[in-house]
Chains A and B, each alone.
Chain A
Amino acid sequence: MAGHLVSLKLALLRNGLRRSNWPQQVALALGALAGLPLAFGGFLLLALVPRAEPEAGLLLVEVVFLALFLGWGLFPLLSFAGDASLDPSRLALLPLRPRQLVAGLSLAACVGVAPLCTLVALGGAVVGFGTLGPGVVLVVAAVLVQFLLCIVGSRALLTALSRQLRSRKARDLVIVLVSVTALAFNLALQVGARLAERLERADLEALRPAARVLGWLPTGLAARALVDAGEGRLLPAMAELAGAALAVALLGWWWWRSLDRVLTTAEPAARQRSRQPAGLFPRSLRRLLPGDQRGAVAAKELRYLARHPRLRVAWMVSCLLGLALVVFVALTEGLQRPWVVLGSLAMAFLASQNSLNQFGFDGAAYWTHVAAGADPRGDLIGRNLASAVTGMVTTTALALVLAAVTGGWLYVPVALCLGLGVLALSLGVADVVSVRFAYPLPDDASNLWAVQGTGQGCLVGIVQMVAFAAQGVLLLPLVALVVVGLVWWTPALVLACPLAVVYGWFLWRVGLGVGTEWLTGHQPELLAALSVRRAA
């Protein structure tokens, strides 16, 4: 039985590689490459540091063990939707007892890139603490118990939460969490590096009480057993090892109970929270948007912005970037010049970048527009309207905040006029690009950055680069005018305001015209580009 589950896991790994297209394979290879430094970094850390710094050794091992445990608990939660082998309910129809399943799934969980990396890292502890004599048996045992803690704990948590994780809300949330976590992790690394530089030996003493708490956690017990065994205190080591092993047994029991529940009780019906029907148009924008097709498309786009996880991530990242700019300006006194307010133009530009594939989020659902014989011009105007609203709101907000930080209130109207020009111009380019080079965005939650279809990633990249370059070239006159205004002749900035609006408006009309003309005769072709190719 266990053998079957292990070979199932191996087959899943193999087929995952075989089935996926080359960008996915590259991503997998990159993932493995990222795992290698972590594995060997962990190995070296555990192998070398305890010998060099015996005092810090125990604390270090405790922290590493705890981090491994938490990582094992957290990471599978985030990849649950993408990994078929993590969902126990897929095995519910097989005539298996929980005992067989626990044994089989435990072994299967030990197969894969992550367990291998963990074992390599933990191997460092054997090298670091292993001594000649009976102690080495306990050292190896402590490492294995720590490994089991990670695996059994992770599986138990996953099984207990498996129902919640399958819900649509959880999957949506995970998409947002993964992306924002990646950013936050990066930030935390930066901050952590700064803090580590300041850490002195005296601070190590201050950390003692925290270390004492860590020592009584199951991972801490395993760590203490490891250190004690390495230093020849065999009896305490055995006691601590027994404590950690008991924790593994308890986690295993929890896992067993959860499995039993998941496999034998019916899934409760999803609770549907019905909103008060508020109509298609967001209340705050009801007056602003026209009540026809253009307004409907714009309202739909804005609703999606709030409800689609991918779009949520996109604007959250934009907002984070804006926030980073504000923090940067506030902290760097040298940059507190009033013209920094013009930095808010970045938001206008960012808001327009989603429009380069403004039909992509519709995907195959675009058939609704084709079947309805929707007016292509109204369709494009509606999408542009939504982008313009979000772009102007974020630009205005950032301009106001930056003005409050730098005192450059006079630059706010300039930023708004230029922002309108930049948005209009970029949307004009997007109206042409988005109808000629549309591609569908995958709906599943497993890979946020994936592009559907084989070998499309490259083409998409090239198209986006060309569009980006075109926008850049068209922006040059405005940039030149602003530079002249900032460096030599301030009235040029005043001149730039109406010019930017007129210039942007003109280019938008041109782009809209070209896009509309092509789309009018080619709606079915756009639909074909947005639909995943199926057998007839």
Chain B
Amino acid sequence: MVAGSSAALSVRGLRKAFGAKVAVAGINLEIPHGCFFGLVGPNGAGKTTTLGMVTGLLRPDAGLVLIDGVEVWRDPVEAKRRIGVLPEDLRLFDRLTGAELLTYNGLLRGMPAAVVEARAGELLEVLGLADAAGTLVVDYSHGMRKKIALASALLHAPRVLFLDEPFEAIDPVSARTIRGLLERYTAGGATVIFSSHVMELVQRLCDRVGIMHLGQLIAEGPTEQVRAGRSLEDAFVELVGASHAGAEELGWLGTWSA
């Protein structure tokens, strides 16, 4: 424990390389409690690697990660008790039904069976999966998989929730359900940290944002401050430096052929 730490997540000098490719090149980050934090960046910026390392799924080469003051890589069990995770690739035990998967997750975390049962029922109801509770997860649609994974992440009422691309390939109705749930959740004092490509959504939801590029955090702070009067998308494109090549080459796109 680090005395007096008030941050939900505190990261210092976090590094990871895969062979010669440096995925995350030394990140420092401090996220206060009750914050809705958005991590944005182009593909391959190192967002998923970062989230893997701070949630204890991927061992970093160097650096310190504290969740609620607990060192993730020194006391993983205690740290993991405080976090919920929704990874990007959604590999689940998909030969279980939705209800079975939630029970399994709860018992893995050592929760009492009765509590798991009650919470699982409520979560399935709120997320609109009650009818599919008895269907194998392998037969779920992409949106349903996202929702059942989110339910698994919320089951133990974690203080910090990590979501990797929670709104990717999700229909508007499901997205709204998830958004409402997350807003209610942070209002209760919990912290949500999520990565996304959808700038408009991040701008609307998040009090703080971090922009990653080539393994580094090139901007971080309150959303208003980072975007400085522009839209977040404009700020992002400016910071990351998008290429303008190709605008002239595709001139034929406007001309119709028979």
* A→B interface (CB under 8 Å): 168, 270, 272-280, 291-293, 295-297, 299-300, 303-304, 307-308, 362-365, 367-375, 523-525, 527-528, 531, 534-536
Given A274-B133, A373-B109, check contact A367 B56 (CB 8 Å).
Answer: no
Query: What CA separation (Å) do A303 and B95 show in the bound complex?
Result: 8
Query: Are B92 and A365 in contact, with the CB atoms below 8 A?
Result: yes
Residue in chain A with minimal CB distance to B110? A293
Query: Are A275 and B134 in contact, with the CB atoms below 8 A?
Result: yes
Minimum Cβ distance to chain B for residue A360 (Å): 13
B113 at the interface (CB under 8 A from A): yes
**Given the complex, which residues of A lie within 8 Å of B196, measured CB to CB?**
none
Query: Are A277 and B134 in contact, with the CB atoms below 8 A?
Result: yes
Query: Are B85 and A274 in contact, with the CB atoms below 8 A?
Result: no
The 10 closest A-B pairs by CB, nearest first: A373-B80, A536-B23, A296-B107, A364-B91, A275-B134, A307-B95, A274-B134, A373-B77, A372-B108, A280-B103
Residue in chain B with minimal CB distance to A167? B139
Query: Are B96 and A371 in contact, with the CB atoms below 8 A?
Result: no
Query: What CA separation (Å) do A292 and B108 show in the bound complex?
Result: 8
Band of interface residues on B: 35 or more
Provide 15 A-B residue pairs closer than 8 Å at the C-beta atoms, listed in order of the A residue. A270-B139, A273-B135, A276-B134, A277-B100, A279-B99, A279-B103, A296-B108, A300-B100, A364-B91, A368-B105, A371-B57, A371-B83, A524-B57, A531-B91, A536-B21
Query: Are A528 and B44 in contact, with the CB atoms below 8 A?
Result: no
**Given the complex, which residues of B lie within 8 Å of A275, measured CB to CB?**
97, 134-135
Minimum Cβ distance to chain A for residue B106 (Å): 8
Residue in chain B with minimal CB distance to A534? B89
Residue in chain A with minimal CB distance to B121? A277
Minimum Cβ distance to chain A for residue B142 (Å): 13
CB < 8 Å: which of B91, B99, B109 contacts A365?
Answer: B91
**Given the complex, which residues of B lie within 8 Å of A370, measured CB to CB?**
56-57
B216 at the interface (CB under 8 A from A): no
Given A296-B108, A373-B76, A536-B48, check contact A525 B103 (CB 8 Å).
Answer: no
Minimum Cβ distance to chain A for residue B13 (Å): 18
Given A168-B139, A303-B100, A368-B152, check contact A524 B58 (CB 8 Å).
Answer: yes
Q: Which of A168, A373, A374, A375 has the most CB of B within 10 A?
A: A373
Query: Are B110 and A277 in contact, with the CB atoms below 8 A?
Result: no
**Given the complex, which residues of B lie within 8 Å of A279, measured CB to CB?**
99-100, 103
Scan B135-147; emit 1 where CB is below 8 A from any A CB, else 0.
Answer: 1101100000000
B27 at the interface (CB under 8 A from A): no
Given A274-B134, A373-B81, A524-B59, check contact A293 B107 (CB 8 Å).
Answer: yes
CB < 8 Å: which of A307, A364, A369 contacts B108?
Answer: A369
**Given the complex, which residues of B lie within 8 Å of A273, measured CB to CB?**
135
Q: Which of B46, B79, B95, B110 has the most CB of A within 10 A?
A: B95
Query: Are B131 and A374 in contact, with the CB atoms below 8 A?
Result: no
Given A272-B139, A371-B80, check contact A292 B57 (CB 8 Å).
Answer: no
B185 at the interface (CB under 8 A from A): no
Interface residues of B in 20-38 (CB under 8 A from A): 21, 23
**Given the complex, which residues of B lie within 8 Å of A374, measured CB to CB?**
108-109
Scan B141-183; emit 1 where CB is below 8 A from any A CB, else 0.
Answer: 0000000000010000000000000000000000000000000
Query: Are B133 and A277 in contact, with the CB atoms below 8 A?
Result: yes
Query: Are B95 and A536 in contact, with the CB atoms below 8 A?
Result: no
**Given the complex, which residues of A lie within 8 Å of B100, measured CB to CB?**
277, 279-280, 300, 303
Query: Are A367 and B87 in contact, with the CB atoms below 8 A?
Result: yes
Query: Are A304 and B108 in contact, with the CB atoms below 8 A?
Result: no
**Given the complex, which residues of B lie within 8 Å of A531, measured CB to CB?**
91
Query: What CA separation (Å) do A273 and B138 show in the bound complex?
Result: 12
Query: What CA separation (Å) do A527 and B145 show in the bound complex?
Result: 21
**Given the complex, which residues of A lie within 8 Å of B104, measured CB to CB?**
280, 296, 299-300, 368
Residue in chain A with minimal CB distance to B139? A272
B10 at the interface (CB under 8 A from A): no
Query: What CA separation (Å) do A168 and B137 show in the bound complex?
Result: 12
Query: What CA separation (Å) do A372 and B153 show in the bound complex?
Result: 9
Query: Are A277 and B77 in contact, with the CB atoms below 8 A?
Result: no
Residue in chain A with minimal CB distance to B85? A371
Minimum Cβ distance to chain B for residue A221 (Å): 45
B94 at the interface (CB under 8 A from A): yes
**Given the complex, which residues of A lie within 8 Å of B85, measured CB to CB?**
367, 371
B18 at the interface (CB under 8 A from A): yes
Query: What CA separation (Å) do A96 and B93 show in the bound complex?
Result: 41
Interface residues of B in 68-87 (CB under 8 A from A): 76-77, 79-81, 83, 85, 87
Known A-B contacts: A304-B95, A536-B46. Give 16 more (CB < 8 A). Answer: A275-B135, A278-B134, A280-B107, A296-B103, A296-B108, A300-B104, A367-B57, A371-B80, A371-B85, A373-B79, A373-B81, A524-B56, A527-B57, A531-B91, A536-B23, A536-B44
Minimum Cβ distance to chain A for residue B192 (Å): 16
Query: What CA separation (Å) do A534 and B59 show in the bound complex?
Result: 15
**Given the complex, which residues of B lie within 8 Å of A295, measured CB to CB?**
107
Query: Are A525 and B59 in contact, with the CB atoms below 8 A?
Result: yes
B205 at the interface (CB under 8 A from A): no
**Given the complex, which residues of A lie within 8 Å of B135, measured CB to CB?**
272-275
B49 at the interface (CB under 8 A from A): yes
B199 at the interface (CB under 8 A from A): no
**Given the complex, which residues of B lie within 8 Å of A274, measured CB to CB?**
131-135
**Given the complex, which residues of A lie within 8 Å of B107, measured CB to CB?**
280, 291-293, 295-296
Minimum Cβ distance to chain A for residue B27 (Å): 14
Query: What CA separation (Å) do A303 and B104 show in the bound complex?
Result: 12
CB < 8 Å: which of A291, A364, A367 contacts B113?
Answer: A291
Residue in chain B with minimal CB distance to A533? B18
Query: Are B96 and A300 in contact, with the CB atoms below 8 A?
Result: yes
**Given the complex, which residues of A lie within 8 Å of B131, measured CB to CB?**
274
**Given the complex, which residues of B lie within 8 Å of A168, measured CB to CB?**
138-139
Query: Are B44 and A372 in contact, with the CB atoms below 8 A?
Result: no
Query: Are A367 and B132 in contact, with the CB atoms below 8 A?
Result: no
